[in-house]
Chains A and B, each alone.
Chain A
Amino acid sequence: MSTKLSVEHVYKVFGAHPKRALERIERGEGKDAIFAETGMTVGVSDASFEVQEGEIFVVMGLSGSGKSTLVRMLNRLIEPTAGAIRIDGRDITRMTRRELIELRRREISMVFQSFALMPHQTVLENTAFGLNVAGTSSSEREKRALDALDAVGLKANADSFPDELSGGMKQRVGLARALAVDPGILLMDEAFSALDPLIRTEMQDELLRLQAEQSRTVVFITHDLDEAMRVGDRIAIMEAGEVVQVGTPEEIVREPANDYVRSFFRGVDVTHVFTAADIARRDQITVIERVGVSLRAALSRLQEHDRPVAVVHDRERRYQGMVSVESLTERIDALGRREEGAIEEAFVPGVEPVAADRPLTEIMTQVAECPWPVPVVDEHGRYRGTISRATLLHTLNRTEASAA
């Protein structure tokens, strides 16, 4: 993956003399002090991050944290005070007005919180807005707009007017309008925040579906943690104009950078954020299944480490089964002294491995009901570790603690 968009030390100061405020920032003055003394507001302060080609990059923060300002600097609806913003390596802050208009017409488009559709135009005309502005011929315009409407499932409503549509449908038009110009980067400013929860989830799924069909670089602004976790490949968290943490959802939940980040998880159920692989541990002893590994050797290994169970996998680490002291002893006794049994015969019944990418919510019951640690396997059947009831409780407890 290559870097599509990079934001380097970007600042935005609102007020009469932004440069003076910048000097104060360089001297280490806080934004509150600057506001108190000069009346200027530092909207975004030293924001730096990179967005990779084809990823959904979420910028999350409470209102007033500067996230909307930040996203508007990415297409220069708001002029950055300092710093560089590169799209495919080109610094857009140095572009002329003409170049900028060209960039907005071809390379970067935007979806708005309040939809911002033109009430006097039909759905089709709205969708073709960007193409119309760019001077695309009307037949080409109509074709591409219809394709975009088709992609969001609104082809049938092409001749409706925006006020005849529901909120969710309006935002589909907003999305189609942004997609119609086939942009390299899609900016979504709280695009689903004005929708009611059910529709919002539906639209998130729609976005993920579109992303699966044709992956675009998306910068997605939201104040909603659940939404960020659902759609984001990576998340940047903003606090008071600063980017305080950038990472995958798991990284952010596991190691919040500070109390502000932690406070987002208050009352949020993180069990659907963690997957089985995230909390699986490799502390079980393992037995490699090969020709000649005996039941007795396995038993002695367990006794040696004083463990009740061991995981059996093959040379390629493919999970085979689980043996316990009891199951081994039982099998050995049944076979008698002379006979040498295969290890499969001693597998503990009722232990089903879970897939590594299953979220915790889905495997909780299984882990809780199984007397033994539940093995986790990846998509190739390879052993990734086990989840014991203790681990599960520990995880739940830890997220509780971080939320408190």
Chain B
Amino acid sequence: MIGFSADTASFWQSLQERFVIDLKIGEGFTALVDFMREHFGLLFDAIAATISFVADNLTIFFNFLPAPLVFGLLAVLALWRVGWRFALFVLVALYVVMSMGLWPESMDTLGLVIAATLAALGVGLPTGIAMAKSDMLQAIVRPVLDFMQTLPAFVYLIPAVIFFGTGRVPGTIATVVFAMPPCVRLMNLGIRQVPVENVEAGRAFGCNGAQLLFKVELPLALPSIMAGINQTIMLALSMVVIASMIGAGGLGDPVLAGIQQLRLGIGFEGGLGVVILAIILDRLTQSFGQRNKRGAGLLTRLKTFFSRNGKADAT
């Protein structure tokens, strides 16, 4: 019995030596990246230029906005879409960010997240639609999405740096790659889950392809699409911290500093800033997923807010 197990081990050992060859996947990937950098340099430059234009301008824009205006805009939005309690939370939360001295970082992050989200949606939503229309495309895209989602986020950063150097652009691109899958998946799922009879009704009344998409499928898939967008924003926000390792800036910087220099306080402050942004963006985007029919408009909400005596949230 003992001899048997020793034999088996050496048997497997010899089998492995004989049959398992090194596929050199890592080297292959490196070669691929080198090849792409060499031959598609212009393409990457163009992408970099676009991304940096959008991301830079958004960041500059948010930093340019006077803080009181941001306070006001977000509070009004919160009041309109969610309710007065949330509007109150937004005001307090933004005040906390300000008091931590993280306002510019927060605005950088907001710009970065919005730029990355726009890019992710721009690519992701049409992909999701195409995927819903074609089973073959779905079969192809699915494993790619799995790959994008499960590959450790740090691994994106390496090729991103190789292609685009350090700074905001590779950070945004890594964020786009990481944050895109949910909006593709949920767009696909949402359209596929539109009840068969609704699609049939659309076709039976003479919709052409575009009408079917815009008059039936997208409106009925809207809650699912909005959930996808919401998830994309959340993932973008979580990636932003990691992206600060390659110099993307924003709220990731204090967190990174906290880790590197073991400064618990500053790390926590950065983390809290991220959480606050996350909560605000999450609640706001979620609210657009619920059908706001006959819903109290902004004006009505404002009126009820100002005329009420502390209990008119129920609209």
Write the residues of chain A forming the contact surface with B, with a CB cutoff of 8 angstroms: 72, 75, 77, 101-106, 108-110, 112-116, 118-121, 129-130, 132-134, 161, 177, 181, 187
List chain A residues, Cβ under 8 A from B201.
110, 112, 116, 129
Write the residues of chain B forming the contact surface with A, with a CB cutoff of 8 angstroms: 195, 197-198, 200-208, 211, 215-216, 219-220, 222, 291, 293-294
Within 8 Å by CB of A133, from B200, B211, B293, lies B211
Report the separation of the CA atoms of residues A132 and B208 in the bound assembly, to the nearest whole angstrom.
Answer: 12
Report the separation of the CA atoms of residues A392 and B206 in the bound assembly, to the nearest whole angstrom.
Answer: 52
List chain B residues, Cβ under 8 A from A108.
204
Report the separation of the CA atoms of residues A115 and B196 in the bound assembly, to the nearest whole angstrom.
Answer: 11
Report the separation of the CA atoms of residues A114 and B201 in the bound assembly, to the nearest whole angstrom.
Answer: 11
Closest 7 CB pairs of A and B: A105-B206, A104-B206, A116-B197, A116-B201, A130-B205, A110-B204, A120-B219
Q: Please tell me if the beta carbons of A116 and B206 are within 8 angstroms of each other in the complex.
A: no
List chain A residues, Cβ under 8 A from B220.
118-120
List chain B residues, Cβ under 8 A from A102.
206
Q: Please tell me if the beta carbons of B219 and A118 are within 8 angstroms of each other in the complex.
A: yes
Within 8 Å by CB of A105, from B197, B205, B216, B293, lies B205
CB distance from B213 to the nearest CB of A (A): 12
List chain B residues, Cβ under 8 A from A112.
197, 200-201
Most B CB contacts (10 A, CB to CB) among A75, A115, A133 go to A133
By beta carbon, the residue of chain B nearest A102 is B206
Q: Please tell me if the beta carbons of B200 and A120 are within 8 angstroms of each other in the complex.
A: no
Beyond A101-B206, A161-B293, whether A118 also contacts B197 by CB under 8 A is no
List chain B residues, Cβ under 8 A from A109.
204-205
By beta carbon, the residue of chain A nearest B218 is A120
Q: Please tell me if the beta carbons of A133 and B197 are within 8 angstroms of each other in the complex.
A: no
Interface majority SS (helix, strand, loop, mixed), chain B = helix
CB distance from A7 to the nearest CB of B (A): 18
List chain A residues, Cβ under 8 A from B291.
119-120
List chain A residues, Cβ under 8 A from B222.
120
Beyond A161-B294, A181-B205, whether A116 also contacts B211 by CB under 8 A is no
Beyond A116-B195, A118-B219, A120-B219, whether A129 also contacts B200 by CB under 8 A is no
By beta carbon, the residue of chain A nearest B216 is A118
Q: Please tell me if the beta carbons of A134 and B206 are within 8 angstroms of each other in the complex.
A: yes
Report the separation of the CA atoms of residues A177 and B197 in the bound assembly, to the nearest whole angstrom.
Answer: 14
Most B CB contacts (10 A, CB to CB) among A106, A108, A118 go to A118
Can you list 30 A-B contacts (CB < 8 A)?
Answer: A72-B200, A75-B204, A77-B200, A77-B203, A101-B207, A101-B208, A102-B206, A104-B204, A104-B205, A104-B206, A105-B205, A106-B206, A109-B205, A112-B201, A114-B197, A115-B197, A116-B197, A116-B200, A118-B216, A118-B220, A120-B220, A120-B291, A120-B293, A121-B219, A129-B215, A133-B205, A133-B206, A133-B207, A161-B293, A181-B205
List chain A residues, Cβ under 8 A from B216.
118
Beyond A118-B220, A119-B220, whether A104 also contacts B198 by CB under 8 A is no
By beta carbon, the residue of chain B nearest A75 is B204
Within 8 Å by CB of A113, from B197, B202, B205, B294, lies B197
List chain B residues, Cβ under 8 A from A116.
195, 197-198, 200-201
Report the separation of the CA atoms of residues A119 and B198 in the bound assembly, to the nearest whole angstrom.
Answer: 10
Report the separation of the CA atoms of residues A237 and B206 in the bound assembly, to the nearest whole angstrom.
Answer: 29
Report the separation of the CA atoms of residues A105 and B293 in the bound assembly, to the nearest whole angstrom.
Answer: 28
By beta carbon, the residue of chain B nearest A131 is B205
List chain A residues, Cβ under 8 A from B203.
77, 104
Report the separation of the CA atoms of residues A382 and B9 in the bound assembly, to the nearest whole angstrom.
Answer: 106
Report the separation of the CA atoms of residues A119 and B217 in the bound assembly, to the nearest whole angstrom.
Answer: 12
CB distance from B221 to the nearest CB of A (A): 11
Report the separation of the CA atoms of residues A118 and B197 in the bound assembly, to the nearest whole angstrom.
Answer: 10
List chain A residues, Cβ under 8 A from B204.
75, 77, 104, 108-110, 187
By beta carbon, the residue of chain A nearest B291 is A120
Interface contacts beyond A109-B204, A114-B195: sample of 5 additional A-B pairs, CB < 8 Å, sorted by A: A101-B208, A104-B205, A130-B206, A133-B206, A177-B205
CB distance from A271 to the nearest CB of B (A): 36
Most A CB contacts (10 A, CB to CB) among B205, B208, B220, B294 go to B205
Report the separation of the CA atoms of residues A113 and B205 in the bound assembly, to the nearest whole angstrom.
Answer: 16
CB distance from A109 to the nearest CB of B (A): 6
CB distance from A238 to the nearest CB of B (A): 20
Report the separation of the CA atoms of residues A109 and B294 in the bound assembly, to the nearest whole angstrom.
Answer: 30
By beta carbon, the residue of chain B nearest A97 is B208
Q: Please tell me if the beta carbons of B293 and A118 are within 8 angstroms of each other in the complex.
A: no
List chain B residues, Cβ under 8 A from A101.
206-208
By beta carbon, the residue of chain A nearest B211 is A133
CB distance from B291 to the nearest CB of A (A): 6
By beta carbon, the residue of chain A nearest B203 is A77
Report the separation of the CA atoms of residues A77 and B197 in the bound assembly, to the nearest whole angstrom.
Answer: 11
By beta carbon, the residue of chain B nearest A122 is B293
CB distance from A104 to the nearest CB of B (A): 4
Report the separation of the CA atoms of residues A161 and B292 in the bound assembly, to the nearest whole angstrom.
Answer: 12
List chain B residues, Cβ under 8 A from A118.
198, 215-216, 219-220
List chain B residues, Cβ under 8 A from A187.
204
Report the separation of the CA atoms of residues A177 and B202 in the bound assembly, to the nearest whole angstrom.
Answer: 12
CB distance from A149 to the nearest CB of B (A): 16
CB distance from A297 to the nearest CB of B (A): 69
Report the separation of the CA atoms of residues A377 and B273 in the bound assembly, to the nearest whole angstrom.
Answer: 91
Report the separation of the CA atoms of residues A356 and B195 in the bound assembly, to the nearest whole angstrom.
Answer: 48
Q: Please tell me if the beta carbons of B205 and A129 are within 8 angstroms of each other in the complex.
A: yes
Report the separation of the CA atoms of residues A101 and B195 in the bound assembly, to the nearest whole angstrom.
Answer: 21
Report the separation of the CA atoms of residues A22 and B237 in the bound assembly, to the nearest whole angstrom.
Answer: 58
CB distance from B13 to the nearest CB of A (A): 48
List chain A residues, Cβ under 8 A from B294.
161
